[in-house]
């Protein structure tokens, strides 16, 4: 048999950005998302309920925090009256509550309450009820909102008065009761948020569920058992400050969750940058790069700046989320001080943990990541400068060598032409001056017939011209070798 509690309540605190961060077209569509979601929940109890008929979204536009109920209604919250649920076919239970829509700074907020009242319509104390009532207050898991990109977060608070069968000092038994209430609240086979910690708030035991180490599936749920009237009274007295606390908390958690997505993207880009830097080391600094390698480096000069820009944007997003966490963490701490100012010596250490530990831890984690990733940004800038300098230097060297090669080729051609021309000229002179006479000593020694002396003269001419050409070419090579030694 399930345990029983008295006057159980479910409080939903949900927050949604007023304007879309993505596109103007999405603004109108998202503007009413939170209110339509509220309708879908309440219409399970009151089919004709329509929160939109009560709303004035332009209510005091310059006021950072304001109820959005139309002024002529003269109320802050829309009542939910005479709803009924059935724990069994023959036992209808009266359910009441309210919907409190408001604007907080740049966002919309909703405080939705569904409860079993402490007294019935005859002003008589209602009976203790089985904790399975929580399942009836959350049909089809409708109170666990699955929002769009602009949905910030939510906090669920389950409250109940302890029945006479429970000892308010037995922490182990109360922890078991809190677990059972949570199991009754969620559908079968639904992953229940893990237990985080327990403490006391306004003198009554409270149990927190949801771990930031499981941020992807994070749900923030509190189970709070009232052991004396002052706890519930203070809960109502501090409702404005508590609303702000849950709002700033939601913004911090949302920013940290988004920063985890950016972290994953940044880490992937970091790996790409490291690969690019590693590829640069494959180029030998002592060797002149050929045209193919220079073209590859030139292509990198086109892609690396865009990579650097994308990477810088990711770092900027991380910094932005870090600032968002810092700002809303300070706002959270300010609201705690307001609560302290209302009632002196109030023990609110349970609420302080988020501003003293969680929010600073988020900031420190992002700070460490920025320090790590910023190093890669510097490396990328140096790589771009290095590639640009290497390409410019090697291009210049390659162009200079090509020009020197062309000049050398042209000069070699000129020397060849000079040598050949000079040799031919010298040979011609020799032929014209050569006398085919009988007393030629060379011809006499060779006993050359007179009829072959003309042919011999031609051969002498060619050999003489070739020798002259070789002599000119050799002199030029000696001069060029001497010139290079002097330059070096």
For the segment 143-187, what is each residue's pLDDT rounded down to a tens digit?
A: 999 878 899 999 999 999 987 777 878 889 999 999 999 999 998
Closest alpha carbon to 106 in 225, 24, 18: 18
200 or 121, which is more confident: 200
| Mean pLDDT (the chain, rounded) | 80
CA distance 270 to 466: 69
> CA 231, CA 169: separation in Å to the nearest integer?
16
The arithmetic mean of pLDDT across residues 276-286, rounded, is: 61
Structure confidence at residue 81 (pLDDT): 82
In what helix (H) or strand (E) does residue 170 lie, and over which residues does it extend?
A: none
Residue 66: in which H helix or E strand, if any?
strand 65-67
**H or E element: which one contains 37?**
helix 33-42
Q: What is the pLDDT of residue 45?
A: 85
pLDDT, greater one: 82 or 450: 82
101: left (phi > 0), else alpha (psi -120 to 50), else beta?
beta
Q: How far is CA 199 from the centre of its chain?
A: 35
pLDDT one-digit tens code per residue, 240-252: 889 999 999 999 9
Alpha carbon distances (Å) from 305 to 294, 299, 311, 383, 384: 17, 11, 10, 10, 7
Instruction: Say what the pTM is.
Output: 0.77
Residue 377 has pLDDT above 80, yes or no: no
Residues 235, 242 contacting (CB under 8 angstroms) = yes
**Which band of pLDDT confidence, cut at 50, 70 and 90, is reported for residue 302?**
low
| Model pLDDT, residue 46 | 86
Where does residue 119 rank: exposed (0-12), middle (13-18), buried (19+ CB within 10 A)? exposed
Report the range of poorest mean pLDDT among 52-56, 271-275, 291-295.
Answer: 291-295
Show the beta-strand stretches assigned E in 74-218: 78-86, 92-104, 107-115, 129-130, 151-162, 195-201, 204-209
What is the structure's pLDDT at 441?
Answer: 59
The whole-angstrom separation of Cα 239 and Cα 342 is 12
Residues 401-428: b if buried by 16+ CB within 10 A, e if exposed = eeeeeeeeeeeeeebeeebbeebbebbe
Contact 6, 160 (CB under 8 A): yes
Is residue 22 scored above 60 in pLDDT?
no
At 315 the pLDDT is 93
pLDDT of residue 218: 92
pLDDT greater than 90 at residue 208: yes
Confidence (pLDDT) at 123:
85
d(CA 68, CA 40): 19
Alpha carbons 4 and 134: distance in angstroms, whole number = 11
Confidence of residue 239 (pLDDT cuts 50, 70, 90): confident
The 3-state DSSP class for residue 143 equals coil
Distances from the Cα of 378 to the Cα of 131, 274, 275, 382, 400, angstroms: 59, 12, 15, 6, 33
Q: How confident is the model at residue 438 (pLDDT cuts 50, 70, 90)?
A: very low
pLDDT at position 403 over 70:
no
Q: Best-predicted range by mean pLDDT among 18-22, 94-98, 234-238, 294-298?
A: 94-98
Mean pLDDT of 356-371: 95
Alpha-carbon distance of 239 to 233, in angstroms, equals: 10
Q: How far is the C-alpha of 45 from the C-alpha of 470, rounded, in Å? A: 114
Predicted pLDDT at 13? 97
pLDDT confidence bin for 331, thresholds 50/70/90: very high
Query: Is the model's pLDDT at 274 over the cut of 90?
Result: no
Q: Check whether 440 has a pLDDT greater than 50.
A: yes
Q: What pLDDT was estimated at residue 149?
A: 86
Could you give the percent of the chain with pLDDT greater than 70?
70
Instruction: Tell me how far apart the alpha carbons of residues 259 and 322 are, in angstroms, rounded to a whole number.
Output: 8
Q: Does the pLDDT of residue 287 top 80, yes or no? A: no
483 vs 447 pLDDT, higher one: 483
DSSP character string of 335-365:
HHHHHHHHSTT---HHHHHIIIIIHHHHHHH
pLDDT value, residue 26: 47
Q: Which of 46-60, 84-98, 248-262 has the lowest mean pLDDT?
A: 84-98
- Between 397 and 159, the higher pLDDT residue: 159
pLDDT, residue 340, reads: 84
Whole-number Å distance between alpha carbons of 419 and 440: 29
DSSP state of 442: H
């Amino acid at each position: 048999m399930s345990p029983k509690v008295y006057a159980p309540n479910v409080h939903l605190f949900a927050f949604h950005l007023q304007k879309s961060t993505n596109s103007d077209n999405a603004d109108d569509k998202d503007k009413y998302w939170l209110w339509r979601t509220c309708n879908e929940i309440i219409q399970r109890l009151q089919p004709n309920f329509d929160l939109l008929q009560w709303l004035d979204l332009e209510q005091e536009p310059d006021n950072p925090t304001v109820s959005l109920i139309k002024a002529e209604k003269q109320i802050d919250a829309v009542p939910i009256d005479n709803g009924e649920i059935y724990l069994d076919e023959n036992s209808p239970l009266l359910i009441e509550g309210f919907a409190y829509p408001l604007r907080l700074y740049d966002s919309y907020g909703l405080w939705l309450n569904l409860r079993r009242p402490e007294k019935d319509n005859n002003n008589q104390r209602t009976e203790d009820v089985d904790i399975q009532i929580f399942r009836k207050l959350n049909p089809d898991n409708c109170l666990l909102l699955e929002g769009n990109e602009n949905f910030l977060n939510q906090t669920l608070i389950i409250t109940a008065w302890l029945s006479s069968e429970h000892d308010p000092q037995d922490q182990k038994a109360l922890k078991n009761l809190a677990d059972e209430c949570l199991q009754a609240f969620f559908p079968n086979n639904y992953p229940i948020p893990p237990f985080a910690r327990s403490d006391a708030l306004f003198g009554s035991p409270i149990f927190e569920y949801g771990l930031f180490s499981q941020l992807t599936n994070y749900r923030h749920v509190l189970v709070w058992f009232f052991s004396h009237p002052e706890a519930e009274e203070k809960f109502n007295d501090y409702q404005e400050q508590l609303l702000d606390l849950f709002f700033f908390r939601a913004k911090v958690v949302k920013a940290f969750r988004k920063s985890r997505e950016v972290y994953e993207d940044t880490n992937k880009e970091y790996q790409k940058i490291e690969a690019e830097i590693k590829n640069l080391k494959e180029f030998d600094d002592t060797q002149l790069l050929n045209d193919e390698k220079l073209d590859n480096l030139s292509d990198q000069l086109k892609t690396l700046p865009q990579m650097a820009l994308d990477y810088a944007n990711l770092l900027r997003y991380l910094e932005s989320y870090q600032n968002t966490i810092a700002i809303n963490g300070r706002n959270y701490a300010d609201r705690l001080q307001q609560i302290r100012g209302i009632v002196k010596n109030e023990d609110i250490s349970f609420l302080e943990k988020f501003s003293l530990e969680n929010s600073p831890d988020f900031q420190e984690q992002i700070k460490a990541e920025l320090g790590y990733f910023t190093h890669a940004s510097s490396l990328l800038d140096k790589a771009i400068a290095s590639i640009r300098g290497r390409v410019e230097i090697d291009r210049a060297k390659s162009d200079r060598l090509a020009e020197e090669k062309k000049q050398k080729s042209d000069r070699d051609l000129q020397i060849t032409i000079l040598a050949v021309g000079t040799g031919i000229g010298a040979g011609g002179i020799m032929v014209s001056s050569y006398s085919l006479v009988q007393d030629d000593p060379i011809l006499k020694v060779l006993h050359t017939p007179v009829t072959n002396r003309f042919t011999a003269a031609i051969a002498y001419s060619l050999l003489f011209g070739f020798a002259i050409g070789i002599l000119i070419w050799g002199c030029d090579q000696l001069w060029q070798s001497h010139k290079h030694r002097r330059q070096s």
